[in-house]
Structure 1
Amino acid sequence: MQLSDLVAAQIFGYFVVVARLGSALMFMPTFGETQYPVRARLSFALVLCAALYPITPVEAVIPDEITAIAILLGIEVTIGLWIGLAARVLLVAMQFAGFQVGQVSGLANAFGPSLGSFEGATLVSTLMLLGSVAALFATDAHHVILLGLLDSYAMFPPGQIIVGDLAEQIVRVGNHSLYIGTMIAAPFFVMGVVLNLGMGLANRMMPQLPVFFVASAILIAVGLFILAAALPPALDFFVRDFIDWFSDFSL
């Protein structure tokens, strides 16, 4: 084999790694956040793929036919997008929970507080999302993400894919994400039922009481108090669940 052929094969193998890991990093929590500049994310993905390329099982071999090359790269991109989107769907659980917290706590009504262009419920949702990303970094969960990306080659060898299994698993991830978001928001659902029931009874006993204005202030105050108490264990629960999901790539 000539030197030029060897170099070309190594470069092609690198592109195969970029096809999977780069596609996964586009949507991956912690690494693919839209707050990062696009150039910074792209540069980081290329450098990371170059660093991980030597320890991946990708062979430095160029298929003979153009069709085989296109199929190989297409499969790797599909697997990478599936990994990144599945992880993103899990992270969306915290955004869903934050939106539900804002709705139940009365932060979404017209008289609720706002900050700039963010109305109350959206603000809580965004803060919980950013807090989850920060918690993933603080607990070194991004190391687990990198290990999971490498272990994905053991579960999905290069050039092999089972589309039915990927579709089934993404549905399960969506179901589990809804479960996580509902569990985290459950205390606020209970709070909303109890407080609204109490204010309804108060209105029956005192019809002149401006229930809406009184209930809004009480809901917001109690909701923020419960949020301050429940947020640390909620973040801990999410991080543990996220790490367990990514650890499943290890066979």
Structure 2
Amino acid sequence: MDLDTFLTSQFLAAALVFARMGSALAFMPGFGERMIALRFRLLLALALSAALAPATPVDVQLLDSPQMLLPVLAIEITLGVWIGTVARIIMSALQFAGYQIGLVSGLSNAFAPETGAFQGSTMIADALMMAGVALIFATDLHHLMIDALLRSYDIFPPGQILPGDLAGQAIKAVAASFYIGFALTVPFHVMGLVLNLGMGLANRMMPALPVFFVATPVLIGAGLFVLVVAAPTMLDGFMQRFADWLSSFTF
């Protein structure tokens, strides 16, 4: 093999690795956040691809002709987008939980112009998402993400794709995201049920009681208190579920 052929094969192999890892990191939580400049995300993807390319089983010498490179490149991009998108779907469980917390706690009450419809829920959802992203790096979960991208070649060999399995796992990811988000907010639903039941009984015994003006600050205060107490356990449980998915890419 001459030098030109060797360098070309190495470049094409690195390009295939970048196609999967770069497209995955573009959507992966933590690495693909909009607050990070696009050029930095691109440089990170290039650096990781160059560093991990020798450890991957990508070998362009197995291609019979250059025309076969385009389908393989499309498959690698599809797999990378799938990995990053499914990870983002799982991450959206925190956002769903934030909206549920705001709804139960009375922070998104349309009859309260001070908070505004859904503004309180949006604030809590954004706070949980930022906490989740911070914990990804604080707990070294981003190392597990990089390791998962490298191990993805054992689950999805280069140039091979199973559209039915990918679609099925994406549907399961949506279902799991809703389940995780609802499971994280169970304490708040219990709190809301108890407080609303108590306010209903109080209004039953005292019809002249302005229940709305009494219940709103109580719900908000109780919701914020439960959030402070339960937030560490909520985030830890989510990180465990996210790490479990990264270890196998299945539910």
Q: Normalised by the shorter chain, which TM-score bucket? A: over 0.9
Q: Is 1:27 the equivalent of 2:19?
A: no
Alpha-carbon distance, 1:67 to partner: 4.0
Q: Residue type of the partner of 2:147?
A: L
Q: More deviation in 96-105 or 191-200?
A: 191-200
CA displacement 1:148-178 (0-9 Å, x = unmatched)? 1000000110000111011111111111111
Question: How does 1:45-124 map onto structure 2 within 5 Å?
Answer: 45-61=45-61, 63-110=63-110, 111=112, 119-124=119-124
The aligned counterpart of 1:144 is: 144
TM-score normalized by structure 2? 0.94
The separation in 2 between residues aligned to 1:67 and 1:168, in whole angstroms, is 30
Q: Secondary structure of the equivalent of 2:26?
A: helix
Q: 1:49 to 1:242 in 2, by over 3 A?
A: same
Q: Residue type of the partner of 1:227?
A: L
Question: How does 1:216-235 map onto structure 2 within 5 Å?
Answer: 216-235=216-235
Q: Is 1:195 the equivalent of 2:192?
A: no
CA displacement 1:9-39 (0-9 Å, x = unmatched)? 1111111001101111011011111111111
The separation in 1 between residues aligned to 2:132 and 2:113, in whole angstroms, is 24
Alpha-carbon distance, 1:144 to partner: 0.8
CA displacement 1:209-235 (0-9 Å, x = unmatched)? 111111110000000000000000011
Asked whether the 8 Å contact 2:109–2:115 carries over to 1, the reply is: no
The separation in 2 between residues aligned to 1:12 and 1:169, in whole angstroms, is 30
Q: CA RMSD in A?
A: 1.8
Asked whether the 8 Å contact 1:106–1:112 carries over to 2, the reply is: no
The separation in 1 between residues aligned to 2:42 and 2:100, in whole angstroms, is 34
The aligned counterpart of 1:178 is: 178
The separation in 2 between residues aligned to 1:67 and 1:188, in whole angstroms, is 57
Alpha-carbon distance, 1:66 to partner: 4.9
The separation in 1 between residues aligned to 2:147 and 2:59, in whole angstroms, is 19
Q: Residue type of the partner of 2:138?
A: A
The separation in 1 between residues aligned to 2:124 and 2:50, in whole angstroms, is 38
Q: Secondary structure of the equivalent of 2:61?
A: coil
The aligned counterpart of 1:13 is: 13
Alpha-carbon distance, 1:112 to partner: 6.6
Asked whether the 8 Å contact 1:112–1:120 carries over to 2, the reply is: no
Asked whether the 8 Å contact 1:180–1:238 carries over to 2, the reply is: yes
Unpaired runs of at least 5, structure 2: none
Alpha-carbon distance, 1:64 to partner: 4.4
Q: 1:59 to 1:112 in 2, by over 3 A?
A: farther
The separation in 1 between residues aligned to 2:61 and 2:192, in whole angstroms, is 61
Q: Is 1:167 the equivalent of 2:167?
A: yes
Q: 1:223 to 1:44 in 2, by over 3 A?
A: same
TM-score normalized by structure 1? 0.94
The separation in 2 between residues aligned to 1:204 and 1:133, in whole angstroms, is 45
Alpha-carbon distance, 1:119 to partner: 1.8
The count of aligned residue pairs is: 248
Q: 1:68 to 1:135 in 2, by over 3 A?
A: same
CA displacement 1:56-110 (0-9 Å, x = unmatched)? 1111437344542111001101111111111111110011001100111011124
The separation in 2 between residues aligned to 1:169 and 1:249, in whole angstroms, is 8
